């Protein structure tokens, strides 16, 4: 950094002195924002961003103090400090005032503790940025570490730990940390729990009281905060509509008050975390879920100063490659590998590792030595290939430059977070924006030096499995137990013969370096046109319809293509649903090698099975998008099913479906609640009954029948002409070569409708006997999404409940770490949901939700007019928030299209309705559909109780109107039968009907038929029951979209 590029600004009045950077920041070509870098007199660094078009402001404060600086005797103290910091300050002593302010003004906030740093961020209405910054600064000037808050947040950290206690990623990571040099900062237990945070207090004596223990915890916290939090360790990023001078005048007086204690601004932890005894080993780890995985990890040298060459990331390009000749392709052909990844883990200021990892099949696990041999053979191939041909680096460099040049805007809080972290990196200030992206030069000697360190004696192999085989582990195995998570693991040194094999691997003729990438884009030109609000229906036939919009605001050489292939066969029976999932997985598996180059060149694709059929998506630089689309569609129509790949993917799906029931309780209960409103749902367990019966000929037959008759609906959005968009639809129709469906065959999702006075409880047991948490999903069905008044009143109710729900049920009552209130949309019906994951029984947490909803009715009724206006304005800010990039815009358009409503101006309609909303209307809906004491005859409630097997408490006897569907009492098969019978007695709402607009153009008459107005069944009219629920294909918290880990 050149000191001459910084200008000193002397103190003026109440404003302290500071420095401003006067050099030029390297920016993406599309970035029209203005930037200013500051250094305050106390050492705090800040980047200010003026964005005239911002509809959300944001700020992020990163402190270069994380859990690697925890005291040795109080693991988790940095994380505990983060919890305490965001609650109150001397100037705002009432708890959660900052959270309340941000929520009321349409914002969100969070804080995260990592190994080298801690981050505090928020986004907010642009008009409220000053108030948000004032509160953020107050929290860091004088946080209020009260004794009452200490007790609550110790429990909150403990609840967070219990949420993750059965999480395999956390468990394996802590084993890895345990197997490092004792006392090294990397070895610490960063999350913390009750035991670790109160350890210092409990050492005061056996008879010490709980109060005294927590007082000691608080004393040590305050002491640690004073020793580790410091203005010179703080990096601030602020994004707002204000000018740079206005932002400067906001930031300087507020953040100059934070004390500078003279600490090292960027503490680093670069000493080796592993000694000789930790390398050249194989670690066997027992997992909670049933899967097989491997990793091969090497320590990296200090690479902080090599941001211009990025040597480790360059090596990851080869070792994580998935194209022909790669480790991935070779191992997949053997039937040993499901996927692979390679790259650098850890911050530049902490210990860094290079890891090659992947999920294995059972055969791959049994042949893990051959898997590792293949990796070392490729490493040997790389060493022997120096000097590497120039195109390898040129392609990596070119694509990095292209990505940076056309880098689009992101959500403000995410961008602020990235900027704040960038300030902590060693880049020169000119490269703050570009430093993480660009490869500026090639240093082959450095790359070779790192590769030389990838030797058997310096690596660590980790094998993960639920049950380890004796033939894999060998003799003399000593199992140990990790202290915090209780994970079982065993360590063995590489035997001499295996070590020698890896050090001198035989040449593998099937491995070779990547060939030149044919997908690198050449044409990056952009045609600019006048803006339009939404896509237009430009073609409609009995076989298909095409929506199209030319990019008119983001100006990137990109496009996105979405194609729905609708067919009733895809989900007609559990067997057909299972076959369709296998078909999709086989297509993606067959395309993996061919399409990896496209992925490197900024293109992506996916094929997903849905209830309505298949969805094909292609996106990225438009120059080669048609080539990729044709490749995908041809494979879809012409897939050849190979028995060995079918066997591998059947094993993968079986483990995935079985592991589904071992997931987070809160996620599972949300999923079960969503399924309760879907007329037809095939669970993973039901589909697994069909899996073993499926042969390759069955998949081939399904392929032909599934694609023989269909209806295609497509969206093309981006840098593409109307004519090119029509050509893309033509390509789809020609490749698929299908006949049209009869209109009544086109699948349309619908929702079940609970009758008024419903009080349904569904109880199930969690499959994991060691899971300590139970979960409640509490859902109140409101009505149809087409009822504008109803949906916006619901949105307002959720808006004002969200923060108090968290504050009362999580912070004050300490029910659990996962507490949230949200708006649900299930196939076009809308409602209010509350979820709680807790060690308490779900019937108890449900009683607390009822009490909370009752209490909030008083607060709503007494809401002052100015607060009501502020809350409405905050919700309007959220509602009208614009898409920040072409991808976000495409997701919005596609959501409207897939829903069947095509309501492209829904946000503007809702904003107008929120402005017109009165407090009386809110109270009337709340009392009719939410408040327990006044809505017994009108509200429609379903709750799912997912019970921990460690919960032995008996549920209370239900009241007369309650229907209980209890697996815990009757067994899973009977429960499924009772649930099916219950659902069969419910009414089913109509399918979605289009909201006609100018988007339909000349095709509008085909869609515009009479249908009742939503206001005809308005729920807000006193004494009337709202049962006309009109759903579409919206998604609730647990949709049955079968991609990846979905059921």
808, 827 contact by CB (below 8 A): no
Residue pLDDT, tens place only, 586-602: 999 999 999 999 999 99
The pairing of strands 544-550 and 536-540 is antiparallel
Beta bridge partners of 284: 463, 490
Residue 1018 banded pLDDT, cuts 50, 70, 90: very low
Q: Return all residues near 894 (Cβ < 8 A) that are at least 6 apart.
A: 562, 715
| 82 a catalytic residue | yes
State the Cα angle at 170 between 168 and 172, rounded to 5°. Answer: 65
Give the number of C-alpha atoms closer than 13 A to the C-alpha of residue 204, restricted to the C-beta side.
16
**CA 593, 598, 603, 608: dihedral to nearest 10 degrees?**
-20
Residue pLDDT, tens place only, 683-694: 999 999 999 999
Residue pLDDT, tens place only, 900-928: 999 999 999 999 999 999 999 999 999 99
The structure tokens 């607390």 sit at 848
Residue 95 banded pLDDT, cuts 50, 70, 90: confident
650, 694 contact by CB (below 8 A): yes
What is the pLDDT, as a whole number, of residue 1040? 32
What is the pLDDT, as a whole number, of residue 776? 98
Above 60 in pLDDT, residue 603?
yes
- Going edge to edge, which strands form the sheet with 758-765? 818-826, 829-838, 774-784, 940-947, 758-765, 962-966
**Selected catalytic residue, list 26, 39, 82, 160:** 82
In 3-state terms the chain splits into helix, strand, coil percentages (rounded to 5) of 45, 20, 40
Q: Report the length, in residues, of the chain.
A: 1047
The structure tokens 């022909």 sit at 324
d(CA 457, CA 339): 25
d(CA 942, CA 763): 11
**CA 145, 147, 150, 151: dihedral to nearest 10 degrees?**
-170
What is the pLDDT, as a whole number, of residue 968? 47
d(CA 400, CA 386): 23
Beta bridge partners of 113: 118
Residue pLDDT, tens place only, 372-421: 999 999 999 999 999 999 999 999 999 999 999 999 999 999 999 999 99
Residue pLDDT, tens place only, 452-495: 999 999 999 999 999 999 999 998 899 999 999 999 999 999 99
The pairing of strands 613-621 and 544-550 is unpaired
728, 734 contact by CB (below 8 A): no
Residue 980 burial by Cβ neighbours in a 10 Å radius (0-12, 13-18, 19+) = exposed
Residue pLDDT, tens place only, 254-278: 999 999 999 999 999 989 999 999 9
224, 189 contact by CB (below 8 A): no
Cα 380 to Cα 336, 364, 446, 674, 748: the distances in Å are 21, 21, 17, 52, 55
Above 90 in pLDDT, residue 515?
yes
Residue 16 burial by Cβ neighbours in a 10 Å radius (0-12, 13-18, 19+) = middle
Beta bridge partners of 343: 355
d(CA 101, CA 765): 39
Which SS3 state, helix, strand or coil, does residue 783 take?
Answer: strand
What is the pLDDT, as a whole number, of residue 311? 97
Above 70 in pLDDT, residue 1022?
no
What is the pLDDT, as a whole number, of residue 96? 79
The DSSP code for 143 is B
d(CA 156, CA 80): 9
Cα 452 to Cα 442, 446, 1012: the distances in Å are 17, 10, 73
The structure tokens 């609730």 sit at 1036
Which SS3 state, helix, strand or coil, does residue 32 take?
Answer: coil
Sign of CA dihedral 272, 274, 276, 282: negative
Q: Where are the alpha helices (DSSP H) in 459-548?
A: 470-473, 496-503
List the structure tokens of 171.
Answer: 């468990």
Q: Of 745, 790, 766, 1034, which Cα lies nearest the Cα of 903?
A: 1034
Residue pLDDT, tens place only, 929-980: 999 999 999 999 999 999 999 999 999 998 878 899 887 443 444 457 888 8
List the structure tokens of 290.
Answer: 């049933």
Above 70 in pLDDT, residue 1012?
no
The pairing of strands 353-360 and 292-299 is antiparallel
Above 90 in pLDDT, residue 1047?
no
d(CA 851, CA 778): 13
φ, ψ (nearest 5 deg) of residue 965: -110, 100
What is the pLDDT, as a whole number, of residue 90? 76
The structure tokens 């999480």 sit at 167
Cα 800 to Cα 48, 101, 286: the distances in Å are 31, 11, 44
**What is the C-alpha end-to-end distance of the chain, expressed in Å?**
53
d(CA 975, CA 763): 9
Above 70 in pLDDT, residue 605?
yes
The pairing of strands 459-465 and 292-299 is antiparallel
Q: Where are the alpha helices (DSSP H) in 531-573?
A: none
602: left (phi over 0), alpha (psi -120 to 50) or beta: left
Sign of CA dihedral 498, 502, 503, 506: positive
The structure tokens 């020169």 sit at 428
Residue pLDDT, tens place only, 360-369: 999 999 999 9
């Amino acid at each position: 950094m050149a000191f001459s590029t910084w200008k000193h600004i002397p103190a003026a009045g109440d404003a302290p002195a500071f420095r401003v950077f006067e050099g030029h920041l390297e920016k993406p070509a599309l970035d029209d924002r203005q930037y200013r870098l500051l250094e305050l007199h106390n050492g705090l660094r800040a980047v200010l961003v003026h964005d005239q078009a911002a509809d959300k402001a944001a700020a992020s404060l990163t402190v270069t103090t994380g859990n690697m600086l925890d005291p040795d005797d109080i693991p988790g103290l940095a994380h505990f400090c983060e919890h305490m910091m965001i609650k109150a300050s001397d100037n705002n002593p009432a708890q959660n005032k900052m959270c309340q302010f941000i929520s009321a003004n349409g914002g969100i906030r969070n804080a995260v503790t990592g190994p080298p740093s801690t981050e505090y961020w928020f986004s907010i209405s642009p008009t409220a940025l000053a108030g948000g910054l004032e509160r953020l600064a107050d929290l860091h000037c004088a946080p209020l570490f009260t004794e009452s808050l200490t007790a609550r947040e110790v429990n909150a950290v403990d609840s967070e730990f219990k949420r993750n206690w059965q999480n395999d990623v956390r468990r394996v990571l802590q084993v890895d940390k345990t197997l490092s040099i004792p006392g090294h900062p990397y070895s610490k237990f960063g999350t913390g729990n009750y035991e670790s945070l109160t350890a210092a207090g409990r050492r005061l004596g056996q008879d010490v009281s709980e109060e005294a223990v927590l007082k000691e915890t608080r004393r040590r916290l305050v002491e640690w905060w004073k020793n580790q939090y410091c203005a010179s360790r703080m990096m601030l990023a602020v994004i707002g509509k204000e000018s740079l001078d206005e932002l400067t005048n906001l930031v300087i007086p507020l953040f100059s008050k934070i004390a500078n204690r003279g600490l090292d601004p960027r503490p680093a932890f670069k000493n080796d975390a592993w000694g000789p005894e930790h390398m050249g080993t194989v670690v066997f780890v027992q997992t909670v879920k049933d899967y097989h995985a491997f990793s091969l990890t090497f320590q990296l040298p200090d690479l902080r100063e090599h941001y211009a060459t990025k040597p480790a990331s360059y090596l990851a390009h080869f070792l994580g490659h998935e194209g022909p000749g790669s480790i991935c392709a070779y191992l997949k052909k053997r039937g040993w590998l499901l996927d692979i990844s390679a790259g650098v883990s850890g911050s530049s200021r902490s210990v860094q590792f290079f890891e090659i990892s992947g999920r294995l099949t059972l055969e791959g696990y049994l042949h893990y030595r051959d898997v590792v041999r293949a990796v070392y053979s490729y490493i040997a191939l790389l060493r022997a290939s120096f000097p590497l041909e120039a195109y390898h680096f040129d392609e990596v460099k070119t694509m990095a430059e292209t990505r940076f040049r056309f880098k689009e805007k992101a959500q403000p809080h995410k961008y602020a977070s990235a900027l704040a972290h960038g300030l902590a990196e060693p880049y020169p200030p000119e490269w703050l924006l570009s430093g993480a992206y660009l490869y500026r030069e090639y240093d082959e000697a450095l790359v070779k030096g790192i590769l030389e360190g990838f030797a058997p004696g310096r690596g660590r192999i980790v094998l993960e499995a639920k049950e380890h085989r004796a033939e894999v582990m060998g003799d003399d195995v000593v199992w140990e137990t990790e202290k915090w998570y209780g994970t079982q693991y065993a360590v063995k040194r590489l035997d001499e013969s295996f070590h020698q094999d890896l050090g001198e691997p035989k040449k593998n003729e099937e491995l070779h370096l990547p060939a030149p990438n044919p997908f690198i884009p050449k044409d990056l030109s952009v045609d600019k046109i006048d803006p339009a609000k939404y896509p237009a229906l430009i073609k409609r036939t009995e076989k298909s319809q095409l929506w199209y919009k030319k990019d008119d605001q983001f100006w990137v050489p990109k496009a996105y293509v979405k194609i729905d292939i609708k067919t009733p066969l895809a989900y007609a029976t559990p067997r057909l649903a299972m076959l369709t999932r296998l078909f999709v997985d086989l297509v993606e598996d067959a395309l993996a090698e061919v399409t990896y180059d496209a992925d490197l060149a900024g293109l992506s694709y996916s094929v997903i099975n849905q209830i309505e059929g298949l969805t094909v998506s292609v996106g990225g630089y438009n120059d080669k998008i048609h080539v990729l689309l044709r490749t995908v569609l041809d494979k879809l129509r012409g897939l050849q099913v190979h028995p060995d790949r079918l066997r591998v993917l059947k094993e993968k799906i079986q483990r995935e479906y079985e592991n589904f029931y071992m997931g987070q309780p809160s996620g599972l209960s949300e999923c079960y609640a969503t399924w309760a409103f879907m007329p037809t749902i095939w669970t993973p367990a039901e589909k697994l009954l069909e899996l073993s019966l499926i042969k390759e000929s069955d998949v081939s037959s399904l392929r032909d029948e599934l694609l023989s008759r269909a209806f295609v609906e497509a969206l093309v959005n981006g840098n593409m002409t109307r004519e090119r968009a029509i050509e893309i639809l033509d390509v789809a129709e020609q490749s698929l070569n299908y006949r049209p469906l009869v209109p009544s065959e086109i699948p349309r999702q619908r929702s079940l409708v609970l009758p008024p006075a419903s009080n349904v409880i569904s109880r199930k047991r969690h499959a994991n006997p060691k899971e300590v948490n139970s979960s409640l999903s509490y859902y109140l069905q409101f009505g149809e999404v087409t009822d504008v008044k109803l949906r916006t009143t619901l949105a307002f109710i959720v808006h004002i409940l969200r923060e108090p729900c968290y504050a009362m049920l999580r912070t004050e009552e300490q029910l659990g770490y996962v507490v949230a209130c949200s708006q649900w949309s299930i196939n076009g019906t809308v409602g209010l949901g509350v979820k709680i994951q807790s060690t308490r029984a779900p019937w108890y947490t449900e009683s607390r939700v009822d009490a909370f909803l009752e209490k909030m009715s008083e607060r709503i009724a007494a809401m002052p007019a100015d607060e009501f206006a502020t809350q409405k304005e905050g919700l309007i800010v959220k509602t009208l928030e614009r898409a920040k990039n072409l991808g976000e815009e495409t997701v919005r358009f596609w959501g409207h299209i897939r829903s069947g409503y095509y309501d492209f101006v829904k946000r503007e309609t809702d904003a107008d309705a929120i402005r017109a909303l009165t407090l009386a209307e809110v109270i009337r809906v709340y009392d009719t559909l939410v408040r327990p004491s006044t809505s017994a005859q009108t509200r429609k409630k379903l709750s799912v109780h997912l019970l921990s097997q460690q919960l032995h408490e008996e549920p209370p006897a239900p009241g007369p109107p309650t229907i209980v569907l209890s697996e815990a009492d009757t067994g899973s098969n009977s429960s499924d039968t009772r649930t099916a019978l219950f659902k069969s007695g419910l009414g089913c709402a109509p399918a979605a009907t289009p909201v006609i607009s100018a988007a339909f153009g000349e095709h509008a008459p085909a869609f515009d038929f009479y249908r009742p107005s939503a206001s005809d069944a308005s729920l807000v009219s006193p004494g009337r029951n709202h049962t006309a629920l009109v759903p579409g294909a919206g998604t609730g918290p647990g949709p049955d979209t079968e991609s990846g880990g979905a059921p």
